[in-house]
Amino acid sequence: MSKKKDETIEYVKNGKRLDGRGLEELRPLKIEAGVLSRADGSCALEWGQNKVVAAVYGPREALPKHIQNPYKALVNFQYRMATFSVPDRKNPRPGRREMEISKISGEALEKAIFLERFPNTTIDVFVEILDSNAGTRVAALAAASVALADAGIPMRDMVSAVGVGKAGGEVILDLNKDEEDAPDAVDIPLAILPRTEEIVLLQMDGLLRPEEWKKAIALGIKGCKQVYGVQKEALRKKYLEAEKEEAEPNTEAAAHGEGE
């Protein structure tokens, strides 16, 4: 019954989608670095309705000792969805989906981090999804990458990610939940190292024709680079503000000295 209803929806009309975006347009994206004082690095991200917090701790000694690798650090990535992040209350225990996303996200970040510089250690990355509306795994990766950079962990590049796919017969960027539920929906989470365009995560749910596939990958890489710009700006803003805060007390002290 619901499928027949969905088939009457025009997901794309006159080049516009249901939420008013163009085919190649991201949902509003806001990133802030350094939001948690007790973490070594952290990030808060809002991407459309998605709200994500990421925290990084380490590198620190890997315990118990039998898990240590004398050649490189271990990346422990934990992706969790809050019980209230979806319309129906979620079981607080981590499900198979969360464990799968944790595994592939950690592997993606391993491609970016200079792990060989920190033998016998672990880098813990915790990501909590507070509100979700499609694309949470790519939002989690983007937030985690900013948190790693905020922690000062050396990386080849940040990991930038976006969802790309198909709905209403059109290849589109950054699918929302309505588009993911379209009868012809195809969803492709994609993550890259932007400077080299090396793909570090690629999944696909659905089928595309060869020409659609080529268009989707090109659009996804373009979208990742847009996300990359927002990531860099978030880090730049944090450290410019930190420099300003450090300079202000010196200015006040100098003014006080002149007055004496």
69-93 confidence digits (pLDDT tens): 999 999 999 999 999 999 888 888 8
Please, what's the b/e burial string for 113-130 (b: 16 or more CB within 10 A of its CB; e: otherwise)? Answer: bebeebebbbbbbbbbbe
Q: Which CATH class is domain 2-6+22-254?
A: alpha beta
Q: What span, in angstroms and rounded, lies between the C-alpha atoms of 148 and 62?
A: 17
pLDDT at 90: 86
Q: Which pTM value belongs to this model?
A: 0.90
Question: Is residue 3 scored above 70 in pLDDT?
Answer: no
pLDDT at 87: 87
Per-residue pLDDT band for 241 (boundaries 50, 70, 90) equals confident
Per-residue pLDDT band for 4 (boundaries 50, 70, 90) equals very low
Which helix or strand (DSSP H or E) is residue 204 part of?
Answer: none
Express as a percent the part of the chain with pLDDT over 70: 92
The whole-chain average pLDDT of the chain stands at 92
Listed range (149-153, 187-191, 242-246, 248-252) with the worst mean pLDDT? 248-252
pLDDT at 92: 87
Pick the residue with more confidence: 245 or 240? 240
